[in-house]
Amino acid sequence: MEHYKLVISIGNYSVEISSHDKKWVEEKEIAYRDFLSSNKHIQKGAHPGATESQQQSPIGRVSKLGKMPINEFYRKYIHDGKVSSRPDIATFFIYYLEKIKENEEVTSTDVKNCFNKVQYPGWNKINIGDVLNKAKKKAFLNSVGNQWSLTITGEDFVLNNLSE
């Protein structure tokens, strides 16, 4: 199976899109190309004082997410109410760990630690295996052994929610 990858870097900002679905990657490439060609702040590398609306992309945020702590990620993208079920939140946490923190391996313990760090109510009583398996049934996650990763569907789910 072929894998398609697109990396766009301008100044301090970069976005990576990867998938086994060539059409999906091509659609995202067109969306970003159109966005970047119409946004002069991004073209110039966007100065640190640029407003969030100047950095808003059509399918995600072009920003320094790599330096964002999990608490801020949770507050900005999850806690506002759009994402409320534990399997969906766990999918966002795996996205954060894989794509933003660039962890090569994500375990169920890593996901449970995310619930702890954001002080999710009752985090220590969550059956994390059950939560992850429910996300797997939604086709958002894959697992091999105790290692969890996003599926194309899971990544698309997160990116679509980030873009709203």
Tokens read off for 75: 């507050």
Report field, pTM of the whole predicted structure over 0.75? no
Q: At CA 156, angle to CA 55 and CA 93, rounded to 5?
A: 80
Residue 106, classed as helix, strand or coil, is: coil
- What are the E-state strand segments in the chain? 4-10, 13-19, 141-144, 147-150
Q: What is the pLDDT of residues 1-14, one digit of tens each?
A: 566 777 776 655 56
Question: Residue 34: pLDDT band by 50, 70, 90 thresholds?
Answer: confident
Nearest residue to 19 (alpha-carbon basis) of 162, 163, 161, 154: 154
Q: For residue 142, count CB atoms less than 10 angstroms from its CB and return exposed for 0-12, middle for 13-18, buried for 19 or more.
A: middle
Place of tokens 């313990």: 109
**Alpha carbon distance, N-terminus to C-terminus of the chain:** 31
DSSP 127: -
Listed in sequence order, the residues at least 6 apart from 39 whose beta carbon sits closer than 8 Å to its beta carbon are 54
Question: Residue 149: pLDDT band by 50, 70, 90 thresholds?
Answer: very high
Element (H, E) at 63: none
65-163 in CATH: which number?
1.10.460.10
Domain segments of the chain as ranges: 4-55, 65-163
Amino acid 71 reads: N
**So what's the pLDDT on residue 5?**
73
| Residue 96 pLDDT greater than 90, yes or no | yes
